[in-house]
Amino acid sequence: MIVWALLTSVGINLGLCLLFVTLYSVLRKQPSNLEVYAPRLVAAKEGSGQKNGFNFERLLPTAGWVKRAWQPSEDELLSVTSLDAVVFIRIFIFSLRVFGFAGIIGVLILLPINYLGSQLDVDFDFSDLPNKSLDSFSISNVNDGSKWLWVHFCAVYIFSGVVCYLLHYEYGYISSKRYTHYYSSKPQPHQFAILVRGIPVSSGSSCSETVERFFTEYYPSTYLSHVVVRRTNKLQRLTSDAEKLYRRLVHLKSETKPQQRSRCDGFCGLFGRKVDVLDQYGKKLENLEDNVRMEKLSVAGKEVPAAFVSFKSRLGAAIALHIQQGTNPTEWVTERAPEPQDVHWPFFSSSFMKRWISKLVVVVACAALTILFLIPVVIVQGLTHLEQLEMWFPFLKSILKLTVVSEVITGYLPSLILQLFLSFVPPIMIMLSSMEGCISFSQIEKSACTKMLWFTIWNIFLANTLSGSVLYRFNIFLEPKKIPGILADAVPAQASFFIAYVVTSGWTSLLSSELFRLHPLISSIIKRPFSGEDDDEFEVPSIPYHSDIPKVLFFGLLGITYFFLAPLILPFLLVYCCLGYIIYRNQLLNVYAPKYETGGRFWPTVHNSTIFSLVLMHVIAIGIFGLKKLSLASSLTVPLPILTLLFNEYCRQRFLPIFKDYPVECLIKKDREDQNDPTIAVFYDKLSTAYKDPALMPIRHPRSTDDHNLPLLQAGV
Amino acid sequence: MIVWALLTSVGINLGLCLLFVTLYSVLRKQPSNLEVYAPRLVAAKEGSGQKNGFNFERLLPTAGWVKRAWQPSEDELLSVTSLDAVVFIRIFIFSLRVFGFAGIIGVLILLPINYLGSQLDVDFDFSDLPNKSLDSFSISNVNDGSKWLWVHFCAVYIFSGVVCYLLHYEYGYISSKRYTHYYSSKPQPHQFAILVRGIPVSSGSSCSETVERFFTEYYPSTYLSHVVVRRTNKLQRLTSDAEKLYRRLVHLKSETKPQQRSRCDGFCGLFGRKVDVLDQYGKKLENLEDNVRMEKLSVAGKEVPAAFVSFKSRLGAAIALHIQQGTNPTEWVTERAPEPQDVHWPFFSSSFMKRWISKLVVVVACAALTILFLIPVVIVQGLTHLEQLEMWFPFLKSILKLTVVSEVITGYLPSLILQLFLSFVPPIMIMLSSMEGCISFSQIEKSACTKMLWFTIWNIFLANTLSGSVLYRFNIFLEPKKIPGILADAVPAQASFFIAYVVTSGWTSLLSSELFRLHPLISSIIKRPFSGEDDDEFEVPSIPYHSDIPKVLFFGLLGITYFFLAPLILPFLLVYCCLGYIIYRNQLLNVYAPKYETGGRFWPTVHNSTIFSLVLMHVIAIGIFGLKKLSLASSLTVPLPILTLLFNEYCRQRFLPIFKDYPVECLIKKDREDQNDPTIAVFYDKLSTAYKDPALMPIRHPRSTDDHNLPLLQAGV
């Protein structure tokens, strides 16, 4: 890629950005789009009817929203959203600091040194700048054995030190936030409860009796109550079907005219007779309700040997959580209880062995998907060659002969196919994680986040860096000694590709997907005619951490890895980070609402992946200095990854436990506060039913009074 | 090695064994050797004076001791010794079962198949058997691509299954023993206490006050007392010096005649004058006691931010142990308290950081020692070549020319040097482990045990198997793909060496060192004239697990690895195991007394090393089937190591927690027993002083009443 091409690309992208932002500024003000662009506000003000009439100002683009997104302080953001959201924003602040520092060193010091080298380019012809290759700005242009490489060497050391300092600072900062948040929190069910699995039910007594006996005996002073988990998959499905049908029935009754209630039956109405749709629906509902009644009766016997156990104090729950309960470690296995709304009910697979095997299968499936993903993609991409298309669709021949069309097709079709395949991955990862036996959505999301991160690194970074077959790429890891050399040889060659990637895929995809929320918009457009349902199931989305965090961290990896190889990437990453910072602050404020709160448990993933990026950079540096015939610098870089890993180990001991559990000091302080709280008795009442399976709860839509022949849904359990 | 040579070696060794056993049977009956061969009995009957007069029966070898060693049941053994000793004996029982099963398959099925192959030997000449190479009995003799190799393949699968079953059985058996032992135990200080490190002492208050305040606030109902650790290294040295001097003084006073009390002073008595030794010793003692007094005063200020905290219940201690205490995870770090007599006082290095760095340094030092150990050995061995010796000691020339002498020197001197170097290793490992920051002898020994195991595997197994430099051997591990092939090529070639090793080094070293306790005998002979002390410091030794367990496990590794490669090794290993079983049962009953009780915590090490051996065998099997041109069998073996590792993971979840902690169920049952125990108040009193540093205790040897001018040692603290 030459400088001119990059400048063109940057120009186009800046233009697109401006266009997107302008469009957004206008579109977000249209009341009909409110549910897409500000569902949080809609949810908050539901029923207050803010739909004003037409206003000329609605058509003018304004930048007020940027100011409003920028203004709220972190504490205000925390009060409006959740700690998780604040931690997510901290990723951008951290990245801005890292890229800012790297940018100063990289652009002011390393870039001129690279450009003044003559390994690739002998003449310093500044007038010819636009036609220069971007490689002239990368380390490839520095002469072999040049003394200037020592500047790069120093930069690597200083940069690693600064990143480690920033990591340490952020870890400490978020730790303290976590404690502050905990101290200020009201009593919540998950703080007082645990999940017990592998309950050894003896014949002749029920699971519930066994749990009651065990905890009354060993926790007489703190045990409060328990809820045994039941297998309700079938009931859940039936209930939700019944609910949907009921809502449709109500909708039909209230809004449609009598002639609309009948529809064509039989073969396109030729031999059909008009049937009252209402009657038909009513019968269906009756059947469903019979099934629900039957299922509810049978569910009582479908006990899973697992139970949510609540305690009177946080310390009581912590003791039961941390100390092995029974003599057999695979029985009475205790786990932290998720928040009640965070429980993932369908996957309470019963036995220890079954859960263990399913975890294993998921790991294998995920590894296979990650490693082999590109094979079908490449095959499908291979089918889209011009000749192939011409053979399949002869009538396109004349159009395909146009240069513009053929360029677009050969240039964009393969990447479009890749993007299409890629868009299937996050849901697959979520599905795999939920099959792993995770009991909460937050656990599923965290696990899927890690999976996506590895998937992205393998399939985007390594696939683009290491040419050759999948097997070849895999083989590299079987010969650890050669890794630095191979990476050093391959990585800088891809610098210009990744610079272009950050500019195009980074900026525009961030803006299009996050600012315009294209995905939800498209999916709602697709969904509406198919489901034939009304929009009364309006839901505020929660931020998809499992796909957003890996995306952001991947750009962090690029920034850290390419910092000394091709510093030109840094200004573009800075722009990306700034955009991300504003846009995500704006969504968090308007769009996303937290569905659960992990208390910033995502941060260790961010920390670990930054350490990974640093060590990757060090390995490449060792290889580069070797290739550039400066073996002393290469050897002197070896201690750096070791020191970084030691720093990581230190952080793991100093901070990681804070993200796992709260200490006795906190627990007892909060417990003592509760003792003086007059509302605690009310809370205990709430606590004992908090972990009831929603499928066993009374249905949410009470029937209207004229439906006296269908009393079941109203009666509930 | 040919069959005849092996038979000769076996003959000689059997003869030696018989001789050793006969000698032992006679020697053990001599009253003067009682302290060496049965120190346990001496300790038990001290003062009862069983020294009978001469008896002719004393000179006749009898086998009664074998019967006496064999007879006691496991429960009897447990009551006499400790659970650790029983677990140690279980290693032999487990090995006997494994080698027994392997022996049946190996000798009856695999050995004939190997011998009937014709890869190395074309003719089946049975008359020439004594001159056949041992390789004819190994898998090397099976023809390439032979269908008989499938029998080996099946044997590997069946054997792995049986070993895993036995492992599972033993793990379960020892787990149940551990619980039984715990339920039957009396209240012991270490069950009620924890060690707290990293106490955040604020200025203006002492460490003791901080601990008192913290635990009174957060554990008001269960906290009992605490003892702050002080830096007493200097005091310990001074006190022990003073004690020694005092004992010598008493000894001199009571037993020697007046003319012996004076000795030669000055330069060989030429200008010397006779000085009363008693006066000299008395002055020295006075000085020492002054120092002790000074040090005791200053020690009060030398608080280490660590304390032993005792609780009123086992559950109280477990809660404090398992839940993070303070908001900073590197402060108030809790650890299981060792038994009071097991505490290793000198190494209470203060800060978290310091301990962490020292651990790191030890890991590096240990790895360096393990990897580079053979370099100096080989250099020193190189210096003992005949020419070198002749050059250094010209007068030996004529003797060295004798064939017998030169053969002995070239054959035995290098291995003698290796043995000499090897004998330094266990103490070094113990030293390294104690520098790691372990706070108890049992921890040190466990850590040294693992270090020794790796040391043995690397330096004896790999050094003998993989020829070439250290660097070459290390390089293999950087190319994991080639490992099976390299091992398959190298390991069978060393089969006859290891068969000879088991017969010679195994049998005779076991008998000589353990039966005759040569090491303690020699060291006591060496020590006595140098120390000039009396034997009144008689101590019953405790079993050196750190050197004995690795030794035994190494033979287990050989048995498992060579099971299908060269089944001839199995009968000899069976003999080794039987010998070990009898001999160790006999030392446990007569010689060794437990110094501490870990409750069988050594077993997971045994389990892990067996799994390692199995996987090593599988890797070699994959390589061998590949080399023998039976690639299908090679591929079909691949799932076996994976299944074995999964089995290991299952055991880790099912059994390992049992070896770490006792569950709530046990703790509360024992606590409730105590509540009904009238002696518990007395125990609490004992508990609060159990963890006092022995250096701060009053001295053990009260002075005789006539030493009224030296009152300090009597008064103590």
pLDDT tens by residue, A393-422: 777 777 777 776 776 666 667 767 777 788
pTM higher than 0.90 for the full model? no
Closest residue in B to A481 (Cα) is B478
Q: For residue B469, is it within any domain?
A: no
pLDDT tens by residue, B175-198: 999 999 999 888 999 999 999 988
pLDDT at B216: 93
Q: Which of A218, A323, A328 sits opposite B318 (nearest CB)?
A: A323
Q: Which residue has the higher pLDDT, B283 or A57?
A: B283
A205 backbone dihedrals φ, ψ, rounded to 5°:
-135, 155
Low-confidence ranges of chain A (pLDDT < 70): 1, 32-38, 40-59, 121-127, 255-276, 300-301, 346-352, 381-386, 404, 407-412, 415, 467-478, 505-540, 587, 698-717
> How many Cβ pairs closer than 8 A exist between chain A and B?
98
Flag if A481 and B480 touch (Cβ within 8 Å): no
Q: Which of B218, B653, B663 sits opposite A327 (nearest CB)?
A: B663
- Return d(Cα B292, Cα B715) in angstroms, integer: 12
Question: Residues of A with CB below 8 A from B478's CB?
Answer: 479-481
Q: Indicate whether B584 and B655 sit together in one domain.
A: yes
Phi-psi region of A440 (alpha: psi -120 to 50; beta: other; left: phi over 0): beta
Give how far B328 is from chain A: nearest CA, Å.
7
* Sign of torsion over alpha carbons B673, B678, B681, B684: negative
pLDDT at B706: 43
pLDDT at B383: 66
Interface mutation target, options A216, A327, A353, A652, chain B, most CBs of B under 10 Å? A327
- In chain B, what percentage of residues exceed pLDDT 70? 77
Flag if B666 and A322 touch (Cβ within 8 Å): no
Flag if A666 and B327 touch (Cβ within 8 Å): yes
Tokens read off for B573: 């290993």
- Return d(Cα B336, Cα B350) in angstroms, integer: 17
Give how far B662 is from chain A: nearest CA, Å.
7
**Residue A37 corresponds to which amino acid?**
Y
Tokens read off for A353: 């062995």
Residue B348: closest CA among B430, B229, B441: B229
- Return d(Cα A80, Cα B119) in angstroms, integer: 80
Flag if A329 and B653 touch (Cβ within 8 Å): yes
pLDDT at A642: 92
Helix (H) or strand (E) holding A224: strand A223-230
β-bridge mates for residue A658, sequence order: none
Flag if B360 and A646 touch (Cβ within 8 Å): yes
Say whether A311 sits in a helix, a strand or coil. strand
Closest residue in A to B172 (Cα) is A328
Q: Indicate whether B114 and B243 sit together in one domain.
A: no
pLDDT beyond 60 at B710:
no
Question: Residues of B with CB below 8 A from A480's CB?
Answer: 478
- Return d(Cα B80, Cα B71) in angstroms, integer: 13
Tokens read off for A207: 């699971």
Residue B94: closest CA among B647, B656, B655, B606: B606
Q: For residue B706, is it within any domain?
A: yes
- Residues A95, A97, A101, A103, Cα dihedral to 10°: 50
Q: For residue B479, is it within any domain?
A: yes
- Return d(Cα A665, Cα A662) in angstroms, integer: 8
Specify the number of domains making up chain B.
3
Q: Indicate whether B300 and B366 sit together in one domain.
A: no
pLDDT tens by residue, A1-47: 677 777 877 887 788 778 877 877 777 777 766 666 667 666 666 54
Q: Which of B324, B329, B665 sits opposite A327 (nearest CB)?
A: B665
B336 backbone dihedrals φ, ψ, rounded to 5°:
-60, 135
Flag if B664 and A324 touch (Cβ within 8 Å): yes
Q: Indicate whether A295 and A176 sit together in one domain.
A: no
pLDDT at B667: 92
- Return d(Cα A25, Cα A33) in angstroms, integer: 12
Q: Which residue has the higher pLDDT, B622 or A261?
A: B622
Whole domain around residue B509: which residue ranges?
3-187+444-463+475-668
Helix (H) or strand (E) holding B422: helix B403-423
Residue B94: closest CA among B156, B158, B171, B157: B171
pLDDT beyond 60 at B707:
no
> Would you say A634 and A156 are in contact if contact means Cβ atoms under 8 Å apart?
no
- Return d(Cα A650, Cα A654) in angstroms, integer: 6
pLDDT at A216: 93
User: What is the Cα A391 distance to its own chain's centre?
Assistant: 42
Q: Indicate whether B363 and B346 sit together in one domain.
A: no
Residues of A contacting chain B (CB within 8 angstroms): 179, 217-218, 318-320, 322-330, 332, 352, 356, 360, 475, 478-481, 646, 650, 653-658, 661-668
Say whether A567 sits in a helix, a strand or coil. coil
Closest residue in A to B360 (Cα) is A646
pLDDT at A310: 94
Tokens read off for A355: 């859960």
Q: For residue B468, is it within any domain?
A: no
Q: Which residue has the higher pLDDT, B434 or A34?
A: B434
Q: For residue B459, is it within any domain?
A: yes
Q: Indicate whether A300 and A222 sit together in one domain.
A: yes
Q: For residue A409, is it within any domain?
A: no
Q: Indicate whether A171 and A251 sit together in one domain.
A: no
Where does residue B626 rank: exposed (0-12), middle (13-18), buried (19+ CB within 10 A)?
Answer: middle
Flag if A664 and B360 touch (Cβ within 8 Å): no
What number is the average pLDDT over the span B158-167? 95
- Return d(Cα A495, Cα A481) in angstroms, integer: 24
Interface mutation target, options B323, B478, B486, chain A, most CBs of A under 10 Å? B323
Flag if A655 and B323 touch (Cβ within 8 Å): no
Q: Indicate whether B158 and B49 sit together in one domain.
A: yes
Q: What is the value of ipTM here, to two decimals? A: 0.81
Give how far B175 is from chain A: nearest CA, Å.
9
- Residues A282, A288, A290, A292, Cα dihedral to 10°: -140
> How many angstroms separate the Cα of A426 from the Cα of each of A112, A451, A521, A550, A696?
41, 9, 18, 10, 31
Q: Indicate whether B228 and B156 sit together in one domain.
A: no
Where does residue B428 rank: exposed (0-12), middle (13-18), buried (19+ CB within 10 A)?
Answer: middle
pLDDT tens by residue, B441-498: 888 888 999 999 999 888 888 777 776 555 666 666 667 777 788 788 778 777 777 8
Q: Which of B356, B479, B658 sits opposite A329 (nearest CB)?
A: B658
Question: Residues of B with CB below 8 A from A168's CB?
Answer: none
Residue A690: closest CA among A15, A7, A85, A192: A192
Question: Residues of B with CB below 8 A from A664's CB?
Answer: 218, 319-320, 323-325
- Return d(Cα A370, Cα A470) in angstroms, integer: 11
Q: Indicate whether A230 and A259 sit together in one domain.
A: yes
> How many angstroms separate the Cα of A414 from the Cα of each of A421, B86, B618?
11, 68, 44
Flag if B658 and A327 touch (Cβ within 8 Å): yes
Tokens read off for B312: 């009123």
Q: For residue A387, is it within any domain?
A: no
Question: Residues of A with CB below 8 A from B654's CB?
Answer: 328-330
Say whether B202 sits in a helix, a strand or coil. coil
- Return d(Cα A650, Cα B360) in angstroms, integer: 12
Residues of B contacting chain A (CB within 8 angstroms): 179, 217-218, 318-320, 322-330, 352, 356, 360, 475, 478-481, 646, 650, 653-658, 661-668
Q: Indicate whether B17 and B165 sit together in one domain.
A: yes
pLDDT at A667: 92
> How many angstroms separate the Cα of B150 from the Cα of each of A130, B564, B622, B637?
69, 12, 13, 11
Q: For residue B217, is it within any domain?
A: yes
pLDDT tens by residue, A604-621: 999 999 999 999 999 999
Give how far B159 is from chain A: nearest CA, Å.
24
β-bridge mates for residue A196, sequence order: A307, A334
Closest residue in B to A179 (Cα) is B327
Q: Which residues contact B325 (CB under 8 A, 6 or more apart)?
A: A663, A664, A665, B196, B214, B218, B331, B332, B333, B334
pLDDT at A472: 64
Mean pLDDT of chain B, nearest integer: 79
Residue B433: closest CA among B546, B545, B345, B523: B546
Flag if B478 and A478 touch (Cβ within 8 Å): no
Q: Indicate whether A659 and A692 sit together in one domain.
A: no
Closest residue in B to A356 (Cα) is B650
